[in-house]
Chains A and B, each alone.
Chain A
Amino acid sequence: MRIATTRAPRLRLGRALLNQGAKSEEPDMASATTTTTMMRSAMPAGRVHQKAGLLEDERWFAAALLLPTAVLLGLFIAYPFFQGIWLALTDTRVGVPGNFVGLKNFEKVWNDSIFRTAVWNTCWYTFITTIVKLVLGLWLAQLLNRHFKGKAWVRAFILLPFIIPTVLSTFAWKWMFDPTFSVLNWLFWQMGFITKRINWLGEPDLAFFSIIVVNIWRGVPFYAISLLAGLQTISPELQEAAAIDGANAWQRFLHITWPLLLPVTMVVTLFSVIQTFADFQLVYVLTGGGPANATHLFATYAYQIGVGTGLLSEGAAISLAIFPVLFIVVLLQLLYIRRVETR
């Protein structure tokens, strides 16, 4: 029996083994043509035959393969994105088709004190959590990269905060921060650290601190596991060689681990920044943007304006305001990754 062949050199060995009955050990172009001819002759004649001919053209075949993805991306990413841009340029309210108003919504949003708070909040929120998550994640990955008993279990457990649906775990945190029943307050009080309740979600700064803590808790596993995967691709021989040459642990980290891990770190950070910047569930559940708008992020404020107040156009303008910032971040990081790859 014959199988359809490809020209990928990597498959040659396997194919050679399978093709024991075949005469040629180097099928390549000649063999591919033979196979296609056989395929064609096996197919019913007529319309299908023509289509098969069309698909033989690599450009068409590639296009056909890409089509489902392109359609999905177009429908669920591109269409809503352009719809969002259009909405932001109109004065659409819920149930009322709007007229084109140019950049008026952006102007209104720009002069909105709550929006400015949300901008600052989002930037700080992303900046602080990303750094802490990276440091903690890297540290955790280093620890997990060692050999110890029950390694597999620990690695699995580390992932838990990431696996549990965010809304559920955030509700658990909400209880821990509850002004009246906080288990954290109870614990600190029992240990004698505090004499009166800490108002975790009621003081603006503390509330902001609280959402940052929860975000870090949820995000560290993603960093840890991804970086661990990266660490495992670094050959231990390099470390050993450096150790023999007298490099201490810090030097080995700085000159071997860090540079080799950098491409992975960049990708992980990229994903994390995008996710954190557009975070919604955590703040929505914990504070609803309060107290007095102290914890609003882009997404929660856009939701409040767009869905709560029904001003779809303004809500769209607020969420689009994320776009330039994210675009620059993504661009810088992708350029950097590309440079690393081509080096």
Chain B
Amino acid sequence: MARVSRRSLLKVTGTTAAAATTGGLAGILASGRAPAYAQTSTVHWLKWNDFVPAADEHLRKKAIPEAEKALGIKITLETINANDLQARTTAAIQSKSGADLIMAFNSNCQLYAESLADVTALCEAVGPSQGGYYDTMKGNCHDGKNWISVPYCVIPGLIAYRKSWFNAVGATTFPATWEEYRAVGMKLKAAGHPLGQTLGHTFGDAPGFAYPFMWSFGGKEVEADGKTVAINSKETIESVKFMAGFWKDAHDEGGLAWDDSSNNRAFLSGTIAATLNGASIYIESVRRAAQYMTEDGKEMRTDIAHAPMPRGPGGASAFHGSQSTMVMGYSKNQKAAVDFLRWFHTPANFEPWFTSQKGFASGPTKVWETNKMWDEDPVMKPFRTAASVGRVPGYAGRPNQKAAEALTKYIVVDMYAKAVQGMAAEASVSWAEGELKKIYSV
């Protein structure tokens, strides 16, 4: 019998394991990057799970196979939870490895500007030939000199409301000003169907409501120079005071804890009468028409209409969500990745994707307003031109890295949330001013 003693076994396995551990990982550490898995001519595309699942299915089953055939490359699409996107992007940039194309939401691409490939040539080919990009898209994806991310689509936010409930309190047309909206909201809340909005830490709905609310009163974060903090103004204080009363009078007070999907559920379950949102509420009510009913047994979809946010003393405003695609600076496949984006944004190839959105997403350029898809459903019609009104955080300056920082810190959202919780308007605005100054002074 061969003798395998405890010590000799330990010696052999121990040295092997140590060698494997130190050699392998030390090698990785020395090279300063994670092991490269897919750096052939495969383009790895990372984006969030589309809120319209049919659109991702279209990409997987049709668009990508067609692009692969047309361009002779391989494309891997990876879709993840929206909340994980930033963590993945940060990790990829720090390790200089990962997907070749990564989706960015709103102005997040500004946070990563130094790590992105210049896509000016592509954007200048696509934009002007398709009626020009919306200001929202240019604001988010352009750094003042170059395009840093390729506009993908706008996700406009409009107020979805229940026509019958608004009618019942005498509002036959949607209120045009915040004062009118508040008066209608008071009656609706008294009738047991308040307005619903979130002021929580959510990436979509809370900033989508708080920023344009401030702008429509004439408030702004900074002056046009993009440096001088200007939030502590009469207009902003007025807006915060208004919000505190408006919230109490007309809103579902649970909204402080809502996430991006809470208002959808509250609306579809018949708890709230109106909410600012993408088109997902209506689209869901159509998709499962039999599931969502009004109190008198009609399909809820027949009782939903859309309207833009009311005007304030400073005019009408909006902050629409938008998506863009970043070509990563570390990518070895930049050419193939850009080729794919060029292919995707060619009208003939983009149209089937655009149609699959059914109006949830508008195109990044104005030419898509004339698409026949908009004739399919009159309820979706207000979304057709919604993207043409809109600003981006950082107003009145440019949406740079500082503005993106203020956005991800929820400073404007929290300014309103604090007032709603009882802080004096002046105090909450001056708190926000202090926070913004810290960001802009560095």
- Asked if B426 is at the interface of the complex by the 8 Å CB criterion, the answer is no
CB distance from B419 to the nearest CB of A (A): 9
Our pick among A68, A181, A197, A199 for the contact of B21 (Cβ within 8 Å) is A68
Do B111 and A309 touch across chains, with their CB atoms under 8 A apart? yes
Using an 8 Å CB-CB cutoff, how does the interface string of A89-116 with B read, 1 for contact, 0 for none?
0000111100000000000100111100
| Contact A288 to B8, CB < 8 A, known contacts A71-B21, A199-B254, A304-B408 | no
Contacts of A180 in B (CB 8 A): 252, 254, 262, 265-266, 269, 271
Contacts of A125 in B (CB 8 A): none
Do B6 and A181 touch across chains, with their CB atoms under 8 A apart? no
Do B410 and A290 touch across chains, with their CB atoms under 8 A apart? yes
Q: At the interface with chain A, which of B194-202, B296-304, B386-394?
A: B194-202
Q: Give bound CA distance, A65 to B401, whole Å.
A: 50
Contacts of B200 in A (CB 8 A): 202, 287-288, 290-291
- CB neighbors of B among A50-108 (8 A): 51-52, 55, 61, 64-65, 67-68, 71-72, 75, 79, 93-96, 108
Q: Which residue of A lies closest to B431 (CB)?
A: A113
Do B22 and A71 touch across chains, with their CB atoms under 8 A apart? yes
| Contact A71 to B93, CB < 8 A, known contacts A52-B11, A64-B11, A288-B201 | no
- Asked if B10 is at the interface of the complex by the 8 Å CB criterion, the answer is yes
| Contact A96 to B114, CB < 8 A, known contacts A4-B5, A180-B262, A288-B201 | yes
- CB neighbors of A among B364-379 (8 A): none
Count of chain B residues with a beta carbon within 8 Å of a chain A beta carbon? 59
Q: Give bound CA distance, A123 to B199, whole Å.
A: 26
Do A309 and B409 touch across chains, with their CB atoms under 8 A apart? yes
Q: Which residue of A lies closest to B10 (CB)?
A: A65
Do A95 and B408 touch across chains, with their CB atoms under 8 A apart? no
Q: Give bound CA distance, A94 to B104, whole Å.
A: 15
- Asked if B418 is at the interface of the complex by the 8 Å CB criterion, the answer is yes
Do A95 and B14 touch across chains, with their CB atoms under 8 A apart? no
Do A310 and B257 touch across chains, with their CB atoms under 8 A apart? no
Q: Give bound CA distance, A312 to B86, whole Å.
A: 13
- Asked if A161 is at the interface of the complex by the 8 Å CB criterion, the answer is no
CB distance from A309 to the nearest CB of B (A): 4
Contacts of B435 in A (CB 8 A): 113-114
Using an 8 Å CB-CB cutoff, how does the interface string of B183-204 with A read, 1 for contact, 0 for none?
0000000000000000111100
- Asked if B414 is at the interface of the complex by the 8 Å CB criterion, the answer is yes
CB distance from A40 to the nearest CB of B (A): 10
Count of chain A residues with a beta carbon within 8 Å of a chain B beta carbon? 55
Q: Give bound CA distance, A42 to B15, whole Å.
A: 20
Q: Give bound CA distance, A304 to B259, whole Å.
A: 16
Q: Give bound CA distance, A67 to B114, whole Å.
A: 40
- Asked if B94 is at the interface of the complex by the 8 Å CB criterion, the answer is yes
Do A307 and B86 touch across chains, with their CB atoms under 8 A apart? yes
CB distance from A6 to the nearest CB of B (A): 9
Q: Which residue of B lies closest to A207 (CB)?
A: B257
- Asked if B258 is at the interface of the complex by the 8 Å CB criterion, the answer is yes
Contacts of B335 in A (CB 8 A): none
Q: Which residue of A lies closest to B404 (CB)?
A: A309
- Asked if B292 is at the interface of the complex by the 8 Å CB criterion, the answer is no
Q: Which residue of B lies closest to A291 (CB)?
A: B256
- Asked if B145 is at the interface of the complex by the 8 Å CB criterion, the answer is no
Q: Give bound CA distance, A112 to B297, whole Å.
A: 53
CB distance from A94 to the nearest CB of B (A): 5
Contacts of B254 in A (CB 8 A): 179-180, 197, 199, 202
Residue numbers of A with Cβ under 8 A of B are 1, 4, 39, 42-43, 51-52, 55, 61, 64-65, 67-68, 71-72, 75, 79, 93-96, 108, 111-114, 177-181, 197, 199-204, 207, 287-293, 304-312
Residue numbers of B with Cβ under 8 A of A are 1, 3, 5-8, 10-11, 14-15, 17-18, 21-22, 25, 29, 86-87, 89-90, 93-94, 111-112, 114-115, 199-202, 252-259, 262, 265-266, 269, 271, 329, 401, 404-405, 408-410, 414, 417-418, 421, 431, 434-435, 438, 442
Task: Please list 8 pairs of residues, one from A and one from B, whose beta carbons are closer than 8 Å in the complex, sorted by A's number.
Answer: A39-B3, A95-B93, A95-B94, A180-B262, A180-B269, A200-B257, A201-B256, A311-B405
Q: A114-B435, A180-B271 are in contact. List 5 more A-B contacts (CB 8 A).
A: A39-B3, A95-B114, A111-B438, A308-B409, A309-B405
